[in-house]
Amino acid sequence: MYGSNKYRTRSPKLVVDEIELCVKEYGIKSIYFDDDTFNIGKKRILELCDEMKKRGLNLPWAVMARADTADEEMLIAMKSAGLIAIKYGVESGNQDIVNACKKNLELKKVEQVVKITKKLGINMHLTFTFGLPGETWDTVKETIRFAKKLNPDTVQFSITTPFPGSSYFEELDKKGWLISKNYTEYDGYNIAVIRTEHLDNKALESALKLACKEWDKHKMIRSFLHTKYIKKALLHPIKGYKKAIDLLRA
């Protein structure tokens, strides 16, 4: 969390022991792995899935994961063990911004894994943030376009909010780009507590509002293009035309 590259894992057997205990003793109906890097180490993940299947838990579960450490074999194994939903952190639709925040993620790889995830029928949630180093209005719009292109089931947009003690917090503080040190405002959604070289805090808040508005419009159009809506439009062309115009104007 604070710059170390060390990563400690627990054995798959011990993890499943704990899950089994939760099911038997407390009646747990589902599990969520709250780990940003859950799927680092393919061998461990495959062993975890095998162990869950051996126990016959038949438990629906969901995870946060890195798109660049996922592949088809891993996702198939996870789904066969009960995975129903996955969240990938993408952060930006601009490769230079992703590189600048040292995420070490190729957006082309994200596109590939998103396609595989959809093909397997796994529910998918993607996350993006505005305010990383180098952010401009052009990169904001690029991120919005990329989110719509990937077309996940759900999406989350936020405003980059640095943790005190992190290198980004120190960098912004040194440049005078921390707008507030009132940590009750550090929610990452309603209030921008930072600015960047090109965008002030109000612009970042506007970027978030724009992204949410564009995604809502995207969802409406996606729903409208669903088969049942097309059938309705064919049966009632005038109503269908008016509905399409309303969506485009939204």
pLDDT tens sequence across 200-211: 999 999 999 999
| 50-78: average pLDDT | 95
How big is the CA angle at 86 (ends 89 and 134), to the nearest 5 degrees?
A: 10
Q: Is residue 209 included in any domain, yes or no?
A: no
* pLDDT of amino acid 243: 60
Q: Is residue 98 included in any domain, yes or no?
A: yes
To the nearest whole number, what is the mean pLDDT of the chain? 91
Question: Which residue do the tokens 């194994």 mark?
Answer: 77
In which domain, by residue range, is 21 found? 12-160
- Strand 61-65 and strand 83-91: the pairing is parallel
In this structure, the chain runs to a length of 250
For residue 239 the two structure tokens come to 């109503």
Identify the three-state secondary structure at position 58: coil
Q: CA of 39: how far to CAs of 30, 32, 62, 104, 193, in Å?
A: 19, 13, 12, 15, 31
Say if residues 44 and 10 touch (Cβ distance below 8 Å): no
Q: Which long-range contacts (CB under 8 A, 24 or more apart) does 210-219 make?
A: 210/140, 210/144, 211/128, 211/130, 211/140, 211/143, 211/144, 211/147, 211/157, 212/157, 214/144, 214/148, 215/144, 215/147, 215/148, 215/155, 215/157, 216/250, 217/247, 217/250, 218/148, 218/151
| 127-155: average pLDDT | 97
* pLDDT of amino acid 37: 86
Q: Is residue 187 included in any domain, yes or no?
A: no
- Has residue 2 got a pLDDT over 60? no
* pLDDT of amino acid 186: 95
Higher-confidence position of 165 and 3: 165
- Has residue 1 got a pLDDT over 60? no
**Confidence bin at 102 (pLDDT 50/70/90):** confident
For residue 51 the two structure tokens come to 């162990």
* pLDDT of amino acid 109: 97
Higher-confidence position of 43 and 9: 43
Q: Is residue 188 included in any domain, yes or no?
A: no
Q: Is residue 79 included in any domain, yes or no?
A: yes
**Confidence bin at 9 (pLDDT 50/70/90):** confident
What CATH number is attached to the domain comprising 27?
3.80.30.20
Higher-confidence position of 23 and 224: 23
Decide: residue 173, CB within 10 A, 0-12 exposed, 13-18 middle, 19+ buried: middle
* pLDDT of amino acid 250: 55
